[in-house]
């Protein structure tokens, strides 16, 4: 088995090791060493990156036997190799992982909420709490306690125990491991069985913050950032807020009220605009009727509007108001809805027309004998349907 150097010293990012064996694998060769500082990416913590024997380490993982392999593109030329772990990334993982221990214990101390899952990605880390109810006040209280522990700069120690003895240690979560168990202790606060990399004192976590929570099933997922990640998120968010504040010509604290006012204004303007467009279309009705009047005295108005359905509907209703011997069909192109109607001095059955065309064009719809509609049409079927209605109207004598 490979000796795990990070077990005793998480800050060690340079090491030398003997190559024990190499095994061909997908994407290159798995290199096994007598010792390594590379963390293999288990227990929720992301794997390290870096170089080994001058080559980028493509992947570090544990094989089926629980031993650490390093995937390289080519076998190393020498049997003694030098490894370099990406130190910034490693420290970031130490901050997130230690912060997780502290945050998880804070939820236990305040609300008896156990952590049932932990996941670290390159952007954000999550813990899953065994509850379907977690409110903002509880999150704020847990953060207050967790950050107090961070700022007290308590020592974080590593100890080893026989699995049989761990019952007396007061672990946050009982371990299922056998044999020797590695325990991470945050002084007078938390004890957890863990194989990951942690900082030596809680002050190095810097700060712990929660960005959001999400309920799934009977659990709640808490998304959190520690240390450098929290600082970067603050700077990114500050830049966004500053840009919004400049656009809205107001201070950051006044932004919510200003944006709310702006959105209400936009909605009112949109409502007014819709009303005016509908009135504009309706005013065209008398002229349209005369323009499309045939030799038999019947006006057949067939139109496509680039307007929403309610405007097409109101124009169609305007066209068939009064005794003007008119057949109308108005398509709202954006919504794929066509409205058909006739004036009360004609007898053509619009309901029957719609029922017949509905099946042929795979549309939905219905209506009354004098006014009906068909919807759910694509641009192509809508045009073909309008053609079909046109030919029906032409052969219709009223």
Could you list the residues that contact Zn ion (CB under 5 A)? 97, 194, 196
- Shortest gap between Cβ of 24 and Zn ion (angstroms)? 33
Instruction: Give 71 or 127: the residue with its C-beta nearer to Zn ion.
Output: 127
- Shortest gap between Cβ of 195 and Zn ion (angstroms)? 7
Instruction: Give 94 or 278: the residue with its C-beta nearer to Zn ion.
Output: 94
Instruction: Give 90 or 97: the residue with its C-beta nearer to Zn ion.
Output: 97
Q: What is the DSSP track for 85-136?
A: E-HHHHHHHHHHHHHHHHHHHHHHHHH---EEEEEE-SS-EEEEES-S---H
- Shortest gap between Cβ of 114 and Zn ion (angstroms)? 15
Three-class DSSP category at 184? strand
- Shortest gap between Cβ of 230 and Zn ion (angstroms)? 18
- Shortest gap between Cβ of 9 and Zn ion (angstroms)? 15
Cβ atoms of 208 and 230 within 8 Å: the answer is: yes
- Shortest gap between Cβ of 139 and Zn ion (angstroms)? 21
How many other CB atoms sit within 10 Å of the CB of residue 174? 10
Task: Give the H or E element holding residue 23.
Answer: strand 14-25
Instruction: Give 81 or 85: the residue with its C-beta nearer to Zn ion.
Output: 85
Instruction: Give 95 or 209: the residue with its C-beta nearer to Zn ion.
Output: 95
Chain-centre distance of CA 252, in angstroms? 25
Instruction: Give 90 or 325: the residue with its C-beta nearer to Zn ion.
Output: 90
Instruction: Give 97 or 358: the residue with its C-beta nearer to Zn ion.
Output: 97
How many other CB atoms sit within 10 Å of the CB of residue 77? 9
CA distance 48 to 58: 10
Token pair of 160 as six digits: 């080893």
How many other CB atoms sit within 10 Å of the CB of residue 350? 25
CA distance 183 to 7: 10
Three-class DSSP category at 154? coil
CA distance 13 to 49: 10
CA distance 349 to 385: 17
Place of tokens 């214990």: 105
- Shortest gap between Cβ of 231 and Zn ion (angstroms)? 22
Cβ atoms of 102 and 155 within 8 Å: the answer is: no
CA distance 205 to 94: 8
State the residue number with the nearest CB to Zn ion. Answer: 194
Cβ atoms of 225 and 124 within 8 Å: the answer is: yes
- Shortest gap between Cβ of 124 and Zn ion (angstroms)? 17
Provide CB contacts within 8 A for 317, sequence distance 6+. 339, 341, 371
- Shortest gap between Cβ of 67 and Zn ion (angstroms)? 21
Instruction: Give 194 or 386: the residue with its C-beta nearer to Zn ion.
Output: 194
Instruction: Give 97 or 313: the residue with its C-beta nearer to Zn ion.
Output: 97
Place of tokens 């017949």: 356
Instruction: Give 43 or 390: the residue with its C-beta nearer to Zn ion.
Output: 43
- Shortest gap between Cβ of 260 and Zn ion (angstroms)? 43
Token pair of 175 as six digits: 């371990």
């Amino acid at each position: 088995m490979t000796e795990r150097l990070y077990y005793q010293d998480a800050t060690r990012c340079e090491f030398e090791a003997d190559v024990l064996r190499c095994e061909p694998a997908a994407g290159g060769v798995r290199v096994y060493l007598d010792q390594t500082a590379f963390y293999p990416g288990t227990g929720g913590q992301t794997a390290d990156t870096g170089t080994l024997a001058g080559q980028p380490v493509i992947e570090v993982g544990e094989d089926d036997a629980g031993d650490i392999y390093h995937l390289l593109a080519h076998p190393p030329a020498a049997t003694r190799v030098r490894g370099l772990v990406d130190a910034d990334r490693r420290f970031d993982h130490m901050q997130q992982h230690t912060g997780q221990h502290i945050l998880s214990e804070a939820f236990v101390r305040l609300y008896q909420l156990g952590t049932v899952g932990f996941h670290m990605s390159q952007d954000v880390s999550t813990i899953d709490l065994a509850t379907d109810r977690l409110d903002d006040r509880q999150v704020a209280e847990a953060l207050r306690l967790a950050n107090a522990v961070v700022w007290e700069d308590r020592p974080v120690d590593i100890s080893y125990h026989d699995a049989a003895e761990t019952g007396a240690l007061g672990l946050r979560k009982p371990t299922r491991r056998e044999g020797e168990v590695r325990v991470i202790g945050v002084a007078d606060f938390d004890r957890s069985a863990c194989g990951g990399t942690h900082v030596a004192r809680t002050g190095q976590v810097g700060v712990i913050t929660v960005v959001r929570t999400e309920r799934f099933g009977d659990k709640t997922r808490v998304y959190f950032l520690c240390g450098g990640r929290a600082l970067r998120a603050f700077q990114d968010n500050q830049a966004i807020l500053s840009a919004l504040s400049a656009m809205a010509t107001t201070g950051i604290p006044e932004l919510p009220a200003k944006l709310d006012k702006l959105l209400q204004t936009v909605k009112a303007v949109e409502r007014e605009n819709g009303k005016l467009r509908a009135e504009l279309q309706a005013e065209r009705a008398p002229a349209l009727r005369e323009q499309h009047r045939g030799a038999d005295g019947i006006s057949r108005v067939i139109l496509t509007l680039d307007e929403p359905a309610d405007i097409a509907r109101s124009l169609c209703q305007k066209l068939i108001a009064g005794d003007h011997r008119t057949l109308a069909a108005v398509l709202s192109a954006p919504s794929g809805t066509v409205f058909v109607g006739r004036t009360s001095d004609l007898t053509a059955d619009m309901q029957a027309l719609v029922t017949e065309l509905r099946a042929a064009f795979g549309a939905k719809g219905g209506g009354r004998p004098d006014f009906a509609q068909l919807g759910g049409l694509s641009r192509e079927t809508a045009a073909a349907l309008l053609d079909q209605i046109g030919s029906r109207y032409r052969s219709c004598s009223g």
